[in-house]
Amino acid sequence: MATPATGVDLARAIVIDPTLPADWLVVAPSILTILGGAICLMARKNTEAQPRVAILFLTLLVLACGGLFVHVLDKGVVNMVMGRWLPPFGIAFTADITGAALALTASIVALAAGIYGAVDIDTSGRRYGFYPFLLLLMTGVCGAFLTGDIFNLYVWFEVLLISSFGMLVLGNEKEQLDGAVKYAVLNIIATTLFLISTGLLYGLFGTLNMADIAIKTRESGLTGPLASIAVLYLLAFGMKAAAFPVNFWLPASYHTPRIVVSAVFAGLLTKVGVYALLRIFILLMPQARIALTDVIALVAIATMITGIFGALAQTDIRRLFGYLVISGIGSMLAGLAIGTTAAVAGTIFYAIHSVIVMTALYMAAGIMHSMGGSYSLRKLGGLYGASPAFAAVFLVLAFGVAGLPPFSGFWPKVILVDAALATGHGWLAGTILLTGLLTSIAVGRVWVFAFWRGGAEGTVDGGAVALPAADPVLTRAAVWLPLGVLLTLVVLLGVLPEPFFQISGRGASGLVDPLGYVRAVFGGSL
Amino acid sequence: MRTVIFRTIAPYLAALMVLFSIFVLLRGHNEPGGGFIGGLIAASAFAIYGIACGVAAVRRAISFHPMTISGFGLFLATVSGLPSLFVSQPFMTSQWLYIHAFGVEVPLSTPMFFDIGVYFVVVGAIGSIALGLEERESD
């Protein structure tokens, strides 16, 4: 590079040290997904090639996120500043264990959805851009998990939001447009609030770099303006995460799109909101979180209870699972309300579990629809007779989401209940346990009606009704492979929780104590 | 809108606007201008041509579907950030190449390619919306 001689000490403005190729892993997820999305967009008419290109790039994404995760576990927080301007002025990508672990989980889920979509999305859906949207959605999701700049976080939220609009209306049905309008309006309000609070935060501290903000809030303590900004952030991300009482966009929209789109949304979107809440309230503004503990705890309890009651009342399995997503968000918020390292670890673990199990449940719902010809619990029945193996798979997922041992939902709930009792939040602990019980009833109901009962509503006990001819897609490996992978993860998280305890524990301590994060961004001088 | 005067002028006007948009795009590094505003000017050129001579004529003239142009722009803009990988610098660090041709120094740089990418994204996206809206009206 030919830099004109100016007599200026460049080391004060730009990064002089050479960047290691391994550090590129922190931006690789965003680059790969944008490139893949752009190629799929150019090949929009070629509906045969699109899934192949997309699955190739999603596989590369999983590899990149896996590499990044190993790198972060090994070397600690990885930082890269775009265009090598020194932080806080350059836009930083900063991956810590929490971000890298969630990005890895999200990329696995996206790959599973990409494979499942090869069957579920028809030619017209592909022409309208399912694969470009999926890849660009992942750009937004991974970018949000890995960025170290709060305005950049807003940009990634916007990227994933716009892609999700596109995925939501794929098919252009009346019901979908209705769901999309509710979804879009509420999410745009939330994003605008996020932008306003970020503007206020910039006005207060003069910086957008997260590590820099983390230092400045700790120096300033809790002031009036900071508390107001924190409340605005809580509202904005509460909407994104589908927390009570600003969560009605979720049940209004999650049952309308193609099932694989619902699976991706249920797995990823709300969890990005939870991640942002963790980032803001644990890393950036711990004082504000302490002041808001009671509010967050009440919101968590209300979210859990309304979510699970909603699930109990539904007969459409897609809506029912949508309410299960909400009650899970309540459990994650409980960890945020408690705020100790152990509780935050519980939230991270729960988020990983929820991403996997909710996507798997929606995929299972798609298979149930292919087998039984309906999403309604009134019309489903006799699926056990159709496929006992699939009935067992569903039961595992149901146990997983209800938090029954030995599957994935058990351990995060153990951590959260333990952390709640240790800090005197008996109400939170009780609600988490009650929600677990009610979740077992809700998913048990699905199991009894759809699998155990002989046929549709009104079938006499012991009777059996012939199922409609099974959809030919059920013979395709692309339906079963992604579900199998996610199922394996659900079992693995439950049977071998030790590594996940360590990962979420280390991730949580990295958020609670920002020293490592700040050092990685600003070098050893602090 | 299909008056004789407008229909006669529109192709020349559109050609001039596309030319001007490229001028604006290239001067953008150091002076007002750049990929976004250049793309907007080019997209309005296509819109004017579409109003005067019909959307089908525009689609023929630009050969590719506007969304394909967008996709290409996105690809180009992303790739323009990659060369810094080979000189151990972070993503999006600008790389410069000074070429001497015919006694003139031509500075080539990665930000320029990024700007060209933005230009195509804007041309494709805004052009797609404009042509879509015009098509509805003519039905």
Bond into A482 cis (ω within 30) = no
Total residues belonging to chain B? 139
**B3: closest CA of chain A, how far (Å):** 36
pLDDT at A5: 58
Mutate to test the interface with B, among A42, A94, A128 (most CBs of B within 10 A): A42
What pLDDT is stored for residue A88 in this prediction? 85
A80 beta partners: A93
Which chain A residues have a beta carbon less than 8 Å from that of B79? 35
Predicted pLDDT of residue B1: 63
Residues of A in contact with B85 (CB under 8 A): 21, 24
Q: Do B90 and B46 contact (CB within 8 A), yes or no?
A: no
Within 8 A of A34 by CB-CB distance, chain B residues are 74, 78
Note down pLDDT in tens along chain A; length 526 residues. 445 556 777 777 788 888 888 888 999 999 999 999 999 999 888 888 899 999 999 999 999 999 999 999 998 899 998 888 888 888 999 999 999 999 999 999 999 999 999 888 888 888 888 999 999 999 999 999 999 999 999 999 999 999 999 998 887 788 888 888 989 999 999 999 999 999 999 999 999 999 999 999 999 888 899 999 999 999 999 999 999 888 888 888 888 888 999 999 999 999 999 999 999 999 999 999 999 999 999 999 999 999 999 999 999 999 999 999 999 999 999 999 999 999 999 999 999 999 999 999 999 999 999 888 889 888 888 888 888 899 999 999 999 999 888 888 899 999 999 999 999 889 999 999 999 999 999 999 999 989 888 777 777 776 666 666 777 777 788 889 999 999 999 999 999 999 999 999 999 999 999 888 999 888 754 4
Q: How far is B138 from chain A (nearest CA, A)?
A: 22
- The distance in angstroms from the start CA to the end CA of chain B is 15
Structural contact between residues A327 and A311, judged by C-beta atoms closer than 8 angstroms: yes
Show the tokens assigned to A264: 């991706």
Q: How many CB pairs under 8 A join A and B?
A: 71
Which chain B residue's Cα is nearest to A127?
B67
Flag if B78 and A15 touch (Cβ within 8 Å): no
pLDDT at A524: 56
Contact A44 B96 (CB under 8 A): no
Task: Provide the b/e sequence for A302-328 (b: ≥16 CB within 10 Å).
Answer: bbbbbbbebbeebbbbbbbbbbbbbbb
Interface test with B, best of A44, A84, A126 (most B CBs within 10 A): A84
A502 touches chain B (CB under 8 A): no
Q: What is the DSSP string of A446-465?
A: HIIIIIISSSSTTPPTT---
Q: Which of A3, A10, A16, A19 to mutate to test the interface with B (most CBs of B within 10 A)?
A: A19
CB neighbours of residue A220 within 10 Å: 13
CB contact under 8 A, B74 and A44: no
Q: Flag if A132 and B79 touch (Cβ within 8 Å).
A: no
> How far are the Cα atoms of A104, A169, A440, A510, B93 from residue B121, in angstroms, in the given order?
29, 22, 49, 39, 21
Q: B58-68: per-residue pLDDT in tens?
A: 999 888 999 99
Contact A39 B71 (CB under 8 A): yes
* A19–B72 C-beta distance less than 8 A: no
Closest by CA to A109, choosing from A357, A475, A329, is A357
Nearest CA in chain A to B66: A42
Evaluate if residue B104 carries a pLDDT over 90.
Answer: no
Q: What is the model's pLDDT at position A179?
A: 87
Query: Residue B94 is part of which domain span?
Result: 4-138
CA distance A77 to chain B (A): 16
**For chain B, what is the mean pLDDT?**
89
The answer to whether the beta carbons of residues A319 and A470 sit under 8 Å apart is no
Which two structure tokens, joined as six digits, stand for A352?
């990983």
Task: Report the pLDDT value the prediction gives residue A232, as an integer from 0 to 100.
Answer: 95
CB contact under 8 A, A19 and B82: no
Chain A contact for B138, CB < 8 A?
no
**Which of B67, B91, B129 to substitute to test the interface with A, most A CBs within 10 Å?**
B91
Nearest chain B CA: its distance from A40 CA (Å): 8
Q: Is the pLDDT of residue B18 over 70?
A: yes
For B:76-105, CB contacts with A below 8 A are 78-79, 81-82, 84-85, 87-96, 98
Nearest alpha carbon to residue A151 among A87, A207, A228? A207
**CB-based contact (8 Å) between B108 and chain A?**
no
The ranges assigned to domains in chain A are 16-525
Residues in Cβ contact with B121 at an 8 Å cutoff, skipping those fewer than 6 apart: B35, B39, B70, B73, B74, B77
Question: Is any Cβ of chain A less than 8 angstroms from the Cβ of B129?
Answer: no
* Total number of domains in chain B: 1
Nearest to A41 among B70, B84, B85 (CB): B70
Query: What number of residues does chain A have?
Result: 526
User: In chain B, whose CA is at the least distance from the CA of A2?
Assistant: B96
Closest residue in chain B to residue A27, using alpha carbons only = B91
pLDDT for the residue numbered A3: 52
The minimal CB distance from B75 to the residues A39, A45, A84 is found for A39
- Six-digit token pair at A111? 């790959």
Q: Does residue A140 contact residue A156 with C-beta atoms inside 8 Å?
A: yes
